[in-house]
Amino acid sequence: QHYCPYATLRVYDGKDATALVIGTVLWRMGKIPLILSLVPAGFVLWSCELGRRCTQPAKAKKPSTFSSEGSDPLLNTGLPLNVVNWPGHVETKGTRNGTCDWLLTADDLAANKDSEGIFLSIAHWYAPHTSCTYLIQGKPNQVVRLYFPSFRITRIQSGIEEFSGDCGESLTLYDASWPDDSRIIKTFCDTFSRPMEKHDFVSTSNSLFVRFESKTGSYAGSSLYYWAHYDFFNNTHFGTPIPGTSCDEEFLSWKQAKGYVRSPMNTLVYKRNEVNSNAIKCRYKFVTDKRIYARIIITINNINFKSNPYNNAVCSTCWDDRLDKMYIWEPSILGAKTNASSVVSYIGSGATCLCKNTNTTRHRFISQGENVNVELSVESSHSATSYFKHAPPLFELEYEFVHGPLCGAATFPSHVDGGELHFPHYEALGYVEAPRYVHCIWEIRVSPNRDVWIQYDNVRFVSKDCRDGTLSVFLPSQPTPHLTVCGHNVSALKTSSPIAATNLRSPALSTSFTPAPHVRIQFIGN
């Protein structure tokens, strides 16, 4: 509508002159003040020079060059328009809402059989005050990881509007499903931020929100250039996560009486850097109350460690060797320390260290008290290369809280004149309901160098079926039961003989903890 004595080039984001104007370039003094480097793929450019409209160029599938006609002042002045492919463009797997708001889900990746998703910084023009968002949404019990294989930050060079303050363009990561300013993980700005390549940003829930904002707009793409990769990790816990830790869990008898535990499902654990430690550790705490249960049984069903390519040590002195291993101990006996010397695995030692793989042998640990700690220790020198995105469990165990109030006392101190054990402990029925299932473990301690004779009086079972009740006697010197009776062979108890003192002592151990001579009696039944 106004006369302009200079040639102009006007670019529209569309197929005709009714589309949104991206910008107008003024041809003056033989120079073009700006370059439009990229526009959305598939759009067609129109141009105007000296008030005369040029013909619409055909949509090109390969690079084409457009220039002015020979009759106007742009003749041979070097004003080409090159239409080329979008370099480095990848198709984002997700759902787009509007121009650049995306919903990226774990289901989208699964539908495309991809393990990771990708989205890129804006590489075409965009208007001032543009905001682009990416909601990365996992399944329940998943967490989101976002990292940048490539990240470059420059000053704004082709802004559409002037902005003199800081953070003309920014990229903000939120540990939330919406832009919650109280849950900001990191903000990158064009004026003062340093890019963080190959750093894992991990959400605490199944959502991570990313927002790009520009106050200036741009003719040539974002000043924050990045490739963003994201993926999802199963963060299922079998117990209650302990705050402030990455993989510690707690198991309370008043919440669940028995269950299954395995090594962390979230293999991001094996990538973390430990401070002042050569190992990545996950601790599992089992806690009961003797008013509910007096003992804890831990059964290790499977251990499957990989060999460390940077360490040729063998499993000889488990407690001291730098190996992948598992610790089991009672804090009430050994305290919080786990640096004792080598301990042979056996029931009642108070501590066990396991570093050999096993798929057939089951390691059983029975506590003497109300607390047991199990700790997984993985050497950090190979944890990421060996176990990151490694699906099979490093260990599997089962736990059970046993010896309820109906069992009575769990331990009987040694007496020269002996003692008596009565079951059921009927007084407990005054404050607990009679359970349908009972698992009792009594420990009868014996003075050193003394034999013991156990006389069984008035033993009755509800039926002859061993599934309804089994009574077993265990000695420290024997891995199998010394005696087992059910309803069908209860008469075997009448011929019991004294047990020699040599059978009441545990195997020789190189540890400061020496269990007293004892006999364990176990009853399992309905």
The two most distant CA atoms of the chain are separated, in Å, by 125
Query: CA–CA separation, 295 vs 348, rounded Å?
Result: 12
Q: What is the helix (H) or strand (E) element at residue 377, kind and residue range?
A: strand 371-379
Phi, psi of 401 (to 5 degrees): -90, 125
pLDDT tens string 119-141: 999 988 899 999 999 999 999 99
Q: Which residue has the higher pLDDT, 494 or 117?
A: 117
237-249 pLDDT, tens per residue? Answer: 999 999 999 899 9
Strands 363-366, 295-303: parallel, antiparallel or unpaired by DSSP? antiparallel
Dist. CA 73–CA 321, nearest whole Å: 83
List, as own/partner pairs, every contact residues 487-491 make where C-beta atoms lie below 8 angstroms and the sequence separation is at least 24, other chains included. 487/461, 487/462, 487/463, 488/464, 490/459, 490/460, 490/461
Tokens standing for residue 446: 């014996």
pLDDT at 81: 55
Sheet with 101-105, edge to edge strand ranges: 95-97, 101-105, 130-137, 207-214, 169-174, 184-189
Residue range 448-461: mean pLDDT, rounded: 90
Percent of the chain with pLDDT over 70: 81
Which among 437, 455, 429 is positioned nearest to 523, based on CA atoms? 437
Q: Which of 370, 334, 379 is nearest to 352 (CA)?
A: 334
pLDDT tens-place string over residues 147-192: 999 999 999 888 889 898 889 999 999 999 999 999 999 999 999 8
Domains and CATH numbers, the chain: 1-60 (no CATH), 95-234 (2.60.120.290), 240-402 (2.60.120.290), 405-525 (2.60.120)
Chain center to CA of 266: 3
Answer left, alpha or beta for residue 380, where phi above 0 means left and psi between -120 and 50 means alpha. Answer: alpha
Q: Is the pTM of this model over 0.75?
A: yes
Taking a C-beta distance cutoff of 8 angstroms, is the pair 399, 296 a contact? yes
pLDDT digits over 338-366, tens only? 444 333 343 345 688 898 887 777 888 99
Instruction: Yes or no: say if 106 and 137 are a contact pair by the CB < 8 Å rule.
Output: yes
Look-up: residue for tokens 């302009």?
4
- Look at residue 101 in the predicted model and tell me its pLDDT: 94
- Alpha-carbon span 511 to 351, nearest angstrom: 9
Nearest residue to 377 (alpha-carbon basis) of 429, 443, 308, 309:
308
Q: Tens digits of per-residue pLDDT, 205-248?
A: 999 999 999 999 998 889 999 999 999 999 999 999 999 998 99
Strand 295-303: give its sheet, edge to edge: 258-262, 395-402, 295-303, 363-366
Strand 20-27 to 7-13 pairing: antiparallel
**388-430: per-residue pLDDT in tens?**
999 999 999 999 999 999 999 999 998 878 899 999 998 988 8
For 82-100, the pLDDT digits (tens) are 555 555 566 788 999 988 9
- Pairwise pLDDT comparison (318 vs 473), residue with the higher score: 473
- Tens of pLDDT, residues 480-518: 899 999 999 998 888 888 999 999 987 654 444 567 899
Residue 162 makes CB contacts below 8 A (sequence gap 6+) with 216
Contacts of 325 (CB under 8 A, 6+ apart): 305, 315, 318, 353, 354, 355, 377
Which tokens sit at 321?
């060797």
Residues above pLDDT 90, as percent of the chain? 54
Report the pLDDT value the prediction gives residue 403, as an integer from 0 to 100. 96
Q: Report the relative pairing of strands 411-412 and 438-445 from DSSP bridges.
A: parallel
